[in-house]
Amino acid sequence: MKHPYYTMNQLMHEHYGKKIRKICIDGGFTCPNRDGTCGSGGCTFCGERGAGEQLDPAKTIREQAEAVLSKAPADSAWIAYFQNFTNTYAPVDVLKARYDAALIDDRIKVLDIGTRPDCITEEIAALLAEYAKNYEVWVELGLQTANNETADRINRGYHLPCFLNAVRILKQYGLPVIVHVILGLPHETLDDVMRTIRTVNAVGADGIKIHSLFIMKDTVLAEQYLAGDFTPISMQTYIDWAIEALTHLDPKIVVHRMTGNCLRDLLLAPDWIIQRDLILTTIDRRMTANGLSQGCRYQAEDCSM
């Protein structure tokens, strides 16, 4: 199906002529926002497994990769995705050993590293640039919002200048940057969302992951929700905001994701986020019916922050 925005599947077909799938890997890392380096408890929305609730930390990195590749066709193509917590939060020699442990097969085409802007240094970027000689390398940065007040509210642990500096370093080494953005953070409005999209445009991001805020059980965000501190946005509002964001997004930016996932037994609210197909179909149909596409409202001023 042709989407009215530039998808990761489209990018991968352009690069490899086929669909490419992910091997989601628990790299055994933690987070500076959990161990006291910059904070404790993590972001308010983050669960105990740091977005890796479906992963098996009992397996080694190599075992996690082998479990997928052993059942995969010989002509398949894969992304080694270091997913949960902060996957550049260790000395460079440790990072190299863990990345190498996943890159065990020629079918792996992409090394994809999820991390935080405050854990990007010149030394780390240089290491990743070495891998880029043999693989595509993507670096995923959790921005979520460009609003520093919201960042404090969700206990993100860094402000916008840190993100801008991390992107500058990564771009200096020629590394593609994928930015995570959450719509519907507590007390944010569409204006906040559009400021975040302008920031993503302004830094020259190569990709974006967008999803609505969802509330996992046993998180700080869950406590705030149950106390009545905020109300999650509706599915209709998410779709409205997502379409507005897409129409102002630089058309060169690859949209890697438009929905979020949460294991059903861990989801507190809102229930509608599990309706992934309905959300995506509605976005596509509304954009197509109204003659809208990614970047159709993108202008130079969208690059101001």
Distance of CA 30 to the CA centre of its chain: 17
Residue 238: which region, alpha, beta or left (left: phi > 0; alpha: psi -120 to 50)? alpha
Across 289-304, average pLDDT: 84
The band of 303, judged by pLDDT with boundaries at 50, 70 and 90, is: low
pLDDT at 50 over 60: no
> Looking at 96-100, 129-133, 298-302, which range is the least confident one?
298-302
Across 112-141, average pLDDT: 98
Distance of CA 74 to the CA centre of its chain: 28
pLDDT at 300 over 70: no
Across 3-20, average pLDDT: 94
Across 125-144, average pLDDT: 98
pLDDT at 135 over 70: yes
Query: What is the Cα–Cα distance from 245 to 24, expressed in whole angstroms?
Result: 27
Torsion of CA 161, 166, 171, 176, to 10 degrees: -120
Q: What is the 3-state secondary structure (H, E, C) of the chain?
A: CCCCCCEHHHHHHHHHCCCCEEEEECCCCCCCCCCCCCCCCCCCCCCCCCCCCCCCCCCCHHHHHHHHHCCCCCCCCEEEEECCCCCCCCCHHHHHHHHHHHCCCCCEEEEEEEECHHHCCHHHHHHHHHHCCCCEEEEEEEEECCCHHHHHHCCCCCCHHHHHHHHHHHHHCCCCEEEEEEECCCCCCHHHHHHHHHHHHHCCCCEEEEEECCEECCCHHHHHHHCCCCCCCCHHHHHHHHHHHHHHCCCCCEEEECCCCCCHHHEEECHHHHCHHHHHHHHHHHHHHCCCCCCCCCCHHHHCC
Q: What is the pTM of this model?
A: 0.94
pLDDT at 174 over 50: yes
Tokens representing residue 279 in the block:
């959300």
Using alpha carbons, select from 289, 284, 280, 198 the residue that is nearest to residue 245: 198
> Looking at 50-54, 131-135, 177-181, which range is the least confident one?
50-54
Query: What is the Cα–Cα distance from 109 to 274, expressed in whole angstroms?
Result: 30
Query: What is the Cα–Cα distance from 271 to 235, expressed in whole angstroms?
Result: 9
pLDDT value for 261 = 85
> Looking at 31-40, 124-133, 139-148, which range is the least confident one?
31-40
Share of the chain above pLDDT 70, in %: 95
Tokens representing residue 48 in the block:
């105990």
Task: Give the model confidence (pLDDT) of 196-233 as tens digits.
Answer: 999 999 999 999 999 999 999 999 999 999 999 999 99
Residues contacting residue 78 through CB under 8 Å, at least 6 positions apart:
20, 21, 22, 23, 68, 69, 72, 105, 107, 108, 109, 110
Across 166-192, average pLDDT: 98
Using alpha carbons, select from 287, 305, 296, 299 the residue that is nearest to residue 4: 287
Domains and CATH numbers, the chain: 8-298 (3.80.30.30)
Name the maximum alpha-carbon separation found in the chain. 52
Mean pLDDT of the chain: 93
pLDDT at 289 over 80: yes
The more confident residue out of 260 and 58 is 260
pLDDT value for 56 = 67
pLDDT value for 51 = 47
Task: Give the model confidence (pLDDT) of 51-64 as tens digits.
Answer: 444 556 779 999 99
Task: Give the model confidence (pLDDT) of 139-171 as tens digits.
Answer: 999 999 999 999 999 999 999 999 999 999 999
Task: Give the model confidence (pLDDT) of 86-114 as tens digits.
Answer: 999 999 999 999 999 999 999 999 999 99
